């Protein structure tokens, strides 16, 4: 797909913008990753990462960026014995995960609407 996009859009001053917008639009149907507490899910197949083909996976970035990452860091630290256990019930952790998922979905929707607006303006100007 990437090779096709590179060949299709040429080298004019708008080629990168066209490629970026369409690449974004192509990736929308992909399932978005969700935060969840493993203690509330019994089906361990839900823990796997499809693209990486690993049975157990967790993702986090720098804990200064997102609250979900702070929780993951703390849980991993406690599970490795590097810190004391978190004093939260698994249902409370799942509520936090649900809230983070809701915020992430809202943010994604705003980003998509912004991209749609940019693309509509781009097409209108170029028509």
Same domain, 90 and 53: yes
One domain, residues 50 and 82: yes
pLDDT at 28: 64
Instruction: Calculate the alpha carbon distances from 57 to 49, 65, 81, 87, 102 in Å.
Output: 6, 20, 19, 23, 21
Together in a domain, 51 and 86: yes
Tell me the average pLDDT across 1-9: 69
Asked if residue 70 and residue 116 are part of one domain, the reply reads: yes
Residue 20 and residue 41 in one domain: no
pLDDT single digits (tens) 40-85 = 888 888 888 877 888 888 877 776 777 888 888 888 899 999 999 8
Choice among 3-17, 61-75, 95-109 with the minimum mean pLDDT: 3-17
Same domain assignment for residues 71 and 97: yes
Q: How many domains does the chain have?
A: 2
Residues 18 and 43 in one domain: no
Tens of pLDDT, residues 17-47: 877 777 777 766 666 778 888 888 888 888 8
* 26 and 76 both lie in a single domain: no
In this structure, the answer to whether residues 43 and 26 fall within a common structural domain is no
Reported as a pLDDT band with limits 50, 70 and 90, residue 92 is very high
- One domain for residues 17 and 68: no
The position carrying tokens 């986090």 is 60
Do 25 and 48 lie in one domain? The reply is: no
pTM higher than 0.85 for the full model? no
Whether 69 and 62 have beta carbons less than 8 Å apart is answered as: yes
Same domain? 20 vs 40: no
Domain boundaries, position 6: 1-30
Neighbours of 81 (CB within 10 A): 8
User: Is residue 2's pLDDT more than 70?
Assistant: no
């Amino acid at each position: 797909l990437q090779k096709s996009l590179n060949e299709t859009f040429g080298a004019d001053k708008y080629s990168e913008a066209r490629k970026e917008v369409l690449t974004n639009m192509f990736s929308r149907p992909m399932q978005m990753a969700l935060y969840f507490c493993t203690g509330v899910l019994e089906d361990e197949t839900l823990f796997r990462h499809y693209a990486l083909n690993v049975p157990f996976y967790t993702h986090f970035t720098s804990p200064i960026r997102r609250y979900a990452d702070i929780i993951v860091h703390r849980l991993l630290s406690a599970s490795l014995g590097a810190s004391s256990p978190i004093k939260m019930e698994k249902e409370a952790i799942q509520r936090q995960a649900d809230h983070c998922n809701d915020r992430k979905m809202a943010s994604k929707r705003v980003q998509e609407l912004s991209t749609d607006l940019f693309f509509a303006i781009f097409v209108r100007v170029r028509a």
